[in-house]
Homo-oligomer: A and B are copies of this chain.
Amino acid sequence: MSYAVKAMPRPRSLTAEGIAAAALAVLDRHGTGGLTMRAVAQELGVSTMGLYRYVTDREELEGLVVELVLGAVDPAPPADGTWQERIAALVERVRAAVGAHPAVVPLTMTHRHRSPAILRWSESVAGLLTEAGTDDRQRVVALRGLLAYVIGAIQLEHLGPLAGAGTVAIAGLDPAEFPNLRATAQAARRVPADEEFRGGLALLLAGIGRRGAAT
């Protein structure tokens, strides 16, 4: 049996999934700025340069975490409900998956496009839009609009203190100069984030349902 031992190549000690999980752990623990090659290597109990045997780039590492997080999104459309409800459910799954790891938000932007999970998710949404009776052009606009909305809403929720402290500051603006904004911000403090997200989504879906919507 020694023949095999002699010729046996040193087994790879890491896997793509393990690296992604380690990177996500670092991200969750130390935030976006804490994600460094050194930190991930340490998390894996490997020298910094050891990582480079499995990943060509920091770029590629980021892609792995993003895919790990987005891969948690179930792309299968819900079995029943109106097409509006089914699309809404799909969209909310993305928000939930990303919301569980806010530190990946800045990374999703640059890496989302390569994600097979989001590809399958998009296929489902496109299918439901077809079911809703949209033509090619309407489906293009609607799918892009939904994507833009999720992306923007997620960022609004997690980046920059517009959600928490920001609204409070705005609520204290000069009433003479910002009457409408001030009132809106004050009302905003009573609207939970979930409702806000669902409400905006409902507006978009209502527009899609109206069919056409002039360009």
Which residues from chain A sit less than 8 Å from chain B, CB to CB?
Answer: 106, 109-113, 119-120, 122-123, 126-127, 129-130, 136-137, 139-145, 147-153, 155-156, 159-162, 166, 170, 173, 177-181, 183-184, 187-188, 190-191, 195-196, 198-208, 210, 213-215
B145 touching A187 by the CB < 8 A rule?
no
Contact residue among B144, B153, B190, B204 (Cβ-Cβ distance under 8 Å from A188): B144
Interface of A is mostly: helix
A195's nearest neighbour on chain B, judged by CB, is B215
> Does B137 contact A191, Cβ atoms closer than 8 Å?
yes
A129 → chain B, closest Cβ, in Å?
8
Copies of this protein in the complex: 2
Name the CB-closest residue of B to A152. Answer: B152
7 A–B contact pairs at CB < 8 A?
A109-B159, A109-B160, A113-B161, A139-B184, A143-B184, A145-B201, A199-B215
Residue of B nearest to A193 (CB): B144
B149, A148: Cβ atoms under 8 Å? Answer: yes
Additional A-B contacts beyond A123-B180, A149-B149 (20; CB < 8 A): A109-B160, A113-B162, A119-B170, A119-B181, A136-B187, A139-B183, A140-B184, A140-B188, A140-B196, A141-B195, A141-B200, A145-B153, A145-B201, A147-B156, A148-B153, A148-B200, A198-B215, A202-B207, A203-B208, A203-B213
A173 near B139 (CB under 8 angstroms)?
no
> Complex: how many Å from CA A153 to CA B201?
15
